[in-house]
Every structure is written in structure tokens, then in C-alpha cells.
Amino acid sequence: MSKKYTITTPIYYVNSVPHIGTALTTLAADVTSRYQKIRGRDVFFLTGTDENGLKVKEAAEKAGKSPMDFVDEISSKFKEIWPGLYIEFDDFIRTTEPRHREAVQAFFSILQEKGHIYSGSYEGWYDVSSETFFKESDLVDGLSPDGNEVRWVKEDNYFFRMSAFQEPLLAHIEANPNFILPESRKNEVLSFIKQGLRDVCISRANPGWGIPVPGDDSQVVYVWFDALINYVAATGWPNPGWESRWPAEVQWMGKDILTRFHATLWPAMLMGVELPLPEALVGHAWLMSGTEKISKSKGNVVAPLDVATSLATRAGCTPEVAIDAVRYYMASVMPMDTDATYTHDEFDRLYNTDLANDLGNALNRSLAMSHKFVDGVIPGGVVETDAAQAIDDAKAKFDKAMVTFRVDHAADAALSVVRFLNKYIDTRAPWALAKNSDPALHAVLRSMLLCLRTAEGLIRPIMPKTADAIAAQLGLPSLTIWDAIGSEESLPAGVKVSLPQPIFPRLDLTKKQEPKKMDTPKPQPAPTPAPAPEVPTEITIDDFAKVKLKVGRVLEAEPLEGSDKLMKLQVVIGEEKRQIVAGIRKNYTAEDLIGRQVIVCVNLKPAKLRGTESQGMLLAATDTDGGAILLQPDREAPEGTGVR
RNA sequence: GGCGGCGUAGCUCAGUUGGUUAGAGCGAACGGUUCAUACCCGUUAGGUCACCUGUUCAAAUCAGGUCGCCGCUACCA
């Protein structure tokens, strides 16, 4: 059996719906899939839903449903949404399916047999929301780095000996430059792994939901470990025949789950069971939803289908074309190295310039001229060399972009032939040729139509419905074979083209022109009240007043367990009592501190240090050796008095 | 703190291996055209290629340093 070209997206958690950020991943995979199909590959495009986490169980309970009913409902919703964006997956796997459970248990057992799993006890913080374990030091303000709640768990668990795979992983990444893309992510992964991998806990106490550890029903497989196995489960593994679908040629995902999971845990797991590693892991960046008024809470999500509906209403295009336009937008901006920002204006602009003005209008004017000058029949003859060159260049650029999965560059390549066409029309001026009965007219019109035929083929992976519409207006069947794109044969002479029908009605952007407050260019104060960086510039008295300092008295002091520098203090500041953690153990003992007056910054954002909350900061000078020299009022000051 | 990256026209960015007048798209101004969805085409903007110092016959492109921004990572208060 010949090997299929396998493309995967992550499986999505069933507790959210796709928004323009997460749809990005699936779209990228779909564009890759459609391109490879046109190139003649037998594609296996896999997506699905992740349904086993503790989070799912809790969400179900909150919704007053049984977990199974809950995931059935939401998973099917997911499955229905993707086709609405013309996502054509070949398989949709759910982690509650028997095939997945079997694969996970087989995977676990093999790792156990090979000695990569041992039992131990785990104690630490667990973020249910992202189903991730964190070290004490990972926490920020008592929350996960992502700002989620964490809970302390202490259990006897199974551990995966990931540490053993550090060197093989590094070697593989170094030896395969395209294993992790883009390159900036690869560097991050390398430095992450070089810092040292530790063994990971891969099971949890069985909450009555999840995949039981083989031979130990008291435990379920840790959801991330479980989830990753979907990729091979869907290929049929461990049953015969999986080799035709694994390894994946490309696994698409967002950058957030690349480093720890897909580029570290996942390949280590595969090495453990001795399965081949995927060819490429691509972690794109995010598309942030931003409006002019930035709302700090990430509440304003943009749903791709809503954008499409809005466009269809405002521009008057068909719903199909509107969805294609959204696909084109997402493909065009496909952020890789850094995050991009979505704005309605930017979307509208791209629609008008690239799709309405360039592509749509080029088709429109070319067809109009065909009817005007050659009775609407595709002329024969030879395509002019510069047009042929432009066509070849665009194809080559598209191919080159897709080798490294640069969907954004591919979109640009597809449009490049259209941009050429508009210039070409202007240069060759068919209307002038017609007027003078110049024999070059036929070749020029043919060249124009072939450019459009090429654009149809190149844009098809990104805008399938639009491509069909272009083909229809050219009076030709859809062009779905890569080698035929741009060929003379793809444009049979004598075929009657249809009358032009605008595919992308232009948006009138003038009426909703927002009043630009150019005359009052007030410097927007940064909405983030972040701790002001210590710039050595002058500050005003107002700046200084922001720092609230008060006199406090140390009531209790004890070394903070698990730390070698930190001291945990209870400080009375006037009426209130605060817990402060300070890195002063090097120079002070608890006895030195108790009863002593100190200067405290009382409006510093609280922080967790070694898991203990610190609600302020002691002022101290820095000694030459880096130690602390505490500030103290010259004589006993009134309790809780301000300092300035 | 460590590692990595970035800082190029008003805006968004290309410029992997150093070499003639530094590019594209968008926006703006001006001009042209009429086949077309008031579209398209061309020209222009005098860009200190963040800054400094080096290497070189020659640097946006290499080395060192400075400033600013970002990512990853870290018992940093």
C-alpha cells in the first residue's frame, strides 16, 4: 500500500467553539491538504475532538449533563462547523472512540514493556483548564502562566521516562532542519530541551472519566498523553495497515502547544514505542482579535462565519464567496514568527484590494474584452512569452512556499499572476489592437485568459468556491491537476466564455469612514499598568506618588521552606497585616527581623514566590555582594504612616 | 538573570550565502488610460537600512558594543 500524505490538526477541546484564531490551524491544514491533492497526492487529513480531560467532566457537570452526552453534543457541533468553512477532512477522531482507547492502552503497555514507564508519587500544581502540570516556580500570582486556576494534587502515578530521550530528541531536531517550523520555534524548542527534560507524570487518579491505565483502573491516562496518541490511533495503529498513514508529513498547530507537547513529549513518546516521527511540526503564531478599543479581557473573539455573514450582507457577494474571502484573509495573514492582529478594517481592505479590485476586476475586464473583441470565444495561438514567464514564476513561487508550509507566501504567489495580468493588459492595450486590427490581439487575449486560468488553479486550495466560479465564467471545467495549471491544454480554443458577472462586489468603504482624530494626537497611555520599567529618565512627582510606601513592623518571620534565599514575614502596617516574602535570608535571621520596623511598598501587585503569596515588598539597599541592607526609619515612626 | 530573535519608505513587511542607482503591498500626491466592479497602469515621496566602533577594495547584509521591542526559559523581588 502506498503511503498517503498525512496532515493533522490538533484535536480540539470540546468546551469551546472555533474562533478566527483556532480556525487558523485547521484552515492551514486544509489549504495544505487541497494543495497536495491537486499535486496528485493521496491525502489523509485528520482532525477531531479531545474529550477525556478532567476539565470536560467538570464542564459537563456544570451543564448538568452526563459527560458522554455532553461530548457527543459538542463534538458533533465541531464536526458540523468545519464544513461550513469548506474544511474537507478525511477523518474525524474522537478520543472517546474505541479505536482511540485501544490505541492509547496499547501505546501505554508497550512503553511499560520497554521500561519507559515507572510508578512514583506526584505532588504539585495542576491546571485543569489547560490540563497541564506546573512547578511551583511556574506559577504567577498563584495562577498558571496563562492565568488559570491551579489546584494542588498529590497522587501515586505513572511516570514516563522522558529524560531518557533528551539527547535523541536534540539529535533528531538538529539532523532534520524542517522538523520544527518556523525556525524561530525550532530555536525555542532546542533551548527548552537543552535545559534538561524531566520525567513526566502520565496518569491521574481515575475520576470516572477518561481512559484507564491498562491493568490499573484506579488511574486514567493523563489527558495530554492520551490526546497525542490520536494521531496514530486514527491511522489504525496498532492494527496492520497503519504504515500507509503514519508518519504524518505535517502536523499543524498553534505555537502554544508546540514546545512542551508536540515537539518534546510527542516525539519522545514515539521514540519510546519505536514509531517513526512526523516529518514536520508547524507551529503558527496567533491572530489576535483587536479593535481600536483594546479590551484587556480576551472576550472579543471573532467567529469566522460571522465575518463571512457580515461581508455577504455588506458587499452583496454570495455566502460561498464570503467564506472564501475569510479563508483568503486567514491564509494571507497566516502569522508564523509573530502574532498578527485582526481588524475589520484590515479585512475589508484586503477584500477590496486583492479580491475585488485585482482578481475580480481582472476577470471581469478580460471577459468583457473577449466578448467585445473576439465574440466571447477563447482564441487560439501562442501565449506571449512574458505572460508565460509570469505564469511559471507564480507556480514556482507557490510550490516553494508550500515546501515550508508558508501559506501566506502561497496566497501572495497566487495573486502575483493577477497583478501581472493587470499590468499586462495595460501594456498591451487590447482595445488599441482591436481598433487597428492588429493580429497580436488573439495572442494577447489568450495570454490574458491563461493568466486567469492559472489564477483559478493556484487560488483553489485557498478559495475553492471562487476557483470554481472563475472556471465557470471561463466556460471550462474546474482545473484540479497541478501540471495542467498554466498549460496551453488547460485553455482549449473555441470555447465560449460567459458574460462577466462580478464575483466580488466592491465594498463601499467611504461611508463608514471613521472620523480620524488627527488634530488631537494624544499619546495613548499604555493600557497595561505594568510595573514601570526602571528607565533612568526623570519622573514627575505624580509618577513618584504612584508608589505607596508605608512604615510597617515585622510580627513574625520564618525561612520559606524549599527556598534558600526567601524569608516569609508577617508585617503589620497600621491596621492591616500582610504576608511578605523577601529575599533577605542571606543577611538576616528571623530573630533579627521580628519586632523591627521596615519600609513596605504596599501597592505592589501581589506575587507568588515559591507558591507563597507576597503582598508587598520591603525596601532595602543592595550590598556590594548583592545582599540586602534593610531600610529602617531613623527613629520609631508611627505605625502605618506613609513614606515619601 | 540566561538563551534566541527583531529594529529597513507614513503603515505592514521582503531583502538565506557581503558587491552596480535598497525592494513589494497598502495609504498619500500627481499624471495616464478606458476593456473593466470610480477599476487599472505609471510616477513621486529626497528611506541616517535603530545607534556607535570595527573587519573589508566593498556591509542593511560579517564582528564587538549601546539603546529599544518581542519570544522562550529561570526559586527575581
CA atom of A268 to C1′ atom of B41, Å: 56
CATH number at residue A634: 2.40.50.140
CA atom of A422 to C1′ atom of B33, Å: 12
| Strand B contacts in A 559-578 (CB under 7 A) | 562-566
| A611 CB-to-strand B distance under 7 Å | no
Nucleotide nearest A191 (Cα, C1'):
B3
Return the amino acid letter for A378: I
CATH number at residue A331: 1.10.730.10
CA atom of A449 to C1′ atom of B26, Å: 27
| A473 CB-to-strand B distance under 7 Å | no
* Same domain membership, residue A312 and residue A272: no
Provide the pLDDT for residue A140.
Answer: 60
* Same domain membership, residue A480 and residue A548: no
Provide the pLDDT for residue A524.
Answer: 25
DSSP string, A45-68: EEEEEE--SHHHHHHHHHTTS-HH
Residue A534 lies in a domain: no
| Strand B contacts in A 173-202 (CB under 7 A) | 184, 187-188, 191-192, 195
Provide the pLDDT for residue A3.
Answer: 96
Nucleotide nearest A606 (Cα, C1'):
B77
Cα–Cα distances in angstroms (integers) from residue A225 to residues A76, A85, A96, A613, in the given order: 23, 30, 14, 32
| A534 CB-to-strand B distance under 7 Å | no
Three-state secondary structure readout of A369-403: HHHHHHCCECCCCCCCHHHHHHHHHHHHHHHHHHH
Provide the pLDDT for residue A515.
Answer: 32
Nucleotide nearest A364 (Cα, C1'):
B36
* Same domain membership, residue A445 and residue A321: yes
User: CA A485 to CA A490: how far, in whole Å?
Assistant: 7
* Same domain membership, residue A164 and residue A135: yes
CA atom of A146 to C1′ atom of B67, Å: 31
| Strand B contacts in A 67-106 (CB under 7 A) | none
CA atom of A354 to C1′ atom of B38, Å: 17
**Is A519 strand, coil or helix?**
coil
Tell me how many domains chain A contains: 3
Residue with CA nearest C1' of nucleotide B74: A137
Final residue of a structural domain among A469, A490, A511: A490
Asked if the interface predicted TM-score (ipTM) of this complex is over 0.90, the answer is: no
Nucleotide nearest A422 (Cα, C1'):
B40
Hey, what's the cell of A99? Answer: 479505536
Tell me if the pTM is above 0.80: no
* Same domain membership, residue A323 and residue A453: yes
* Same domain membership, residue A349 and residue A438: yes
Residue A99 lies in a domain: yes
- Nucleotides, chain B, CB distance < 7 Å: 2-5, 13-14, 25-27, 32-42, 68-77
Find cell 486550495 and name the residue. A461
Provide the pLDDT for residue A609.
Answer: 60
**Is A368 strand, coil or helix?**
helix
Q: A604: which residues sit within 8 A by CB, 6+ positions away?
A: A531, A616, A617
User: CA A161 to CA A622: how far, in whole Å?
Assistant: 43
User: CA A90 to CA A37: how far, in whole Å?
Assistant: 12
| A603 CB-to-strand B distance under 7 Å | no
The domain in which residue A235 lies consists of 5-284
| Strand B contacts in A 121-160 (CB under 7 A) | 135, 137-138, 145
CA atom of A471 to C1′ atom of B19, Å: 47
* Same domain membership, residue A376 and residue A337: yes
* Same domain membership, residue A207 and residue A80: yes
Cα–Cα distances in angstroms (integers) from residue A506 to residues A79, A318, A364, A466, in the given order: 33, 13, 13, 15
* Same domain membership, residue A311 and residue A166: no
Nucleotide nearest A427 (Cα, C1'):
B41
Residue A47 lies in a domain: yes
CA atom of A595 to C1′ atom of B17, Å: 67
User: In sequence order, which ranges of A39-159 are alpha helices (DSSP H)?
Assistant: 54-62, 67-84, 98-113
Hey, what's the cell of A575? Answer: 491596621
CA atom of A256 to C1′ atom of B7, Å: 25
Residue A120 lies in a domain: yes
* Same domain membership, residue A278 and residue A309: no
CA atom of A362 to C1′ atom of B35, Å: 10
Final residue of a structural domain among A447, A474, A490: A490
Provide the pLDDT for residue A521.
Answer: 25
Give the residue from A430, A432, A469, A458 showing the smallest Cα distance to A446: A430
Nucleotide nearest A371 (Cα, C1'):
B35
Block means of pLDDT (10 residues each) for chain A, length 644 residues?
A: 93 73 88 96 96 86 91 88 94 97 97 93 73 65 66 82 93 88 87 87 90 94 93 97 96 90 95 96 81 39 85 94 95 85 86 95 96 96 92 89 89 91 94 94 97 96 97 97 96 97 88 33 25 32 62 74 65 74 71 77 64 69 61 74 74
| Element housing A221 (H / E) | strand A216-221
Q: What are phi and psi of A558, to 5 degrees?
A: -155, 145
Return the amino acid letter for A36: Q
Find cell 510508578 and name the residue. A119
Residue A496 lies in a domain: no
Which own/partner pairs from A313-319 qualify as long-range (CB within 8 Å, at least 24 positions apart)? A314/A507, A315/A351, A315/A356, A315/A504, A315/A505, A315/A506, A315/A507, A316/A505, A317/A503, A317/A504, A317/A505
* Same domain membership, residue A237 and residue A137: yes
**What single DSSP character describes residue A143?**
B
* Same domain membership, residue A582 and residue A481: no
User: CA A641 to CA A644: how far, in whole Å?
Assistant: 10
Nucleotide nearest A583 (Cα, C1'):
B77
| A625 CB-to-strand B distance under 7 Å | no
* Secondary structure tally for chain A: helices H, strands E: 20, 25
Q: What are phi and psi of A436, to 5 degrees?
A: -90, 5
CA atom of A400 to C1′ atom of B53, Å: 40
User: CA A231 to CA A46: how far, in whole Å?
Assistant: 8
Final residue of a structural domain among A463, A490, A517: A490
Provide the pLDDT for residue A16.
Answer: 62
Task: State the Rg of chain A over Cα.
Answer: 31
Provide the pLDDT for residue A452.
Answer: 96
CA atom of A440 to C1′ atom of B45, Å: 38
CA atom of A385 to C1′ atom of B41, Å: 20
| Strand B contacts in A 490-519 (CB under 7 A) | 500, 502-506
